[in-house]
Homo-oligomer: A and B are copies of this chain.
Amino acid sequence: MKEVPAFEAYRQLEPGPIVLVTTRHNGKPNIMTMGFHMMIQHAPPLIGCIIGPWDHSHCALRATGECVIAIPTVDLAETVVDIGNCSGDTVDKFERFGLTQQPARTVAAPLIKECLVNIECRVADTSLVEAYNLFILEAERLWIDPIRKERRTLHHRGDGSFCADGDVLDLHERMVKWRHLSR
């Protein structure tokens, strides 16, 4: 995994990939699948996400204030669905799904080696957790696998079907107002 500035998290999350979220609570790692998330601001990089009390990770996130958002690619599609089908309450998901923990730098939650991107996050605001299960996270470190071949992420269409990334349209020359965000 190669580290890039956490500021660049928006390039990974704005396109709306389905993601995995890892936590570590009382020494026990867990993973959940998440589709309700967005960028909130570029710098410092803030991410909004919905993690409800029906998710075993909700407790872990409240208790530890730390998680990792990992972005899987097309080859992991079935695993992504299966992770969402079972609970960390009864299953060691790293073991069941043959995923590999890698130590993060600033949080106790593990990176997932098999994912294209891993973002170390810390809870920054819990004011809408009671009302909507909305956590605001700050991205602290961003890791990208520079050599993995499959790089297409998945977009959940909310009903168990997914779109893979397709053709790329490069219009960054045209983006005048937000030029400072383009390469």
Contacts and interface: CB of A to CB of B under 8 A. Distances in A.
A100 interface: no
B156 A173 contact: no
Nearest to A16: B16
Interface string A126-158: 011001111010000000000000001011111
Contacts of A133: 41
A159 B37 contact: no
A156 B170 CA distance: 10
B35 A36 contact: no
Copies in the complex: 2
Interface in A153-183: 154-178, 181-183
A140 to B, nearest CB: 18
Contact of A159 (B50, B84, B163, B172): B172
A92 interface: no
A46 B36 CA distance: 11
Contacts of A182: 159-160
B160 A11 contact: no
B40 A171 contact: no
A3 interface: no
* Ranked 8 nearest A-B pairs via Cβ: A16-B16, A166-B166, A160-B172, A15-B155, A160-B175, A38-B38, A11-B158, A160-B182
6 contacts: A35-B39, A36-B40, A82-B174, A160-B171, A160-B182, A164-B169
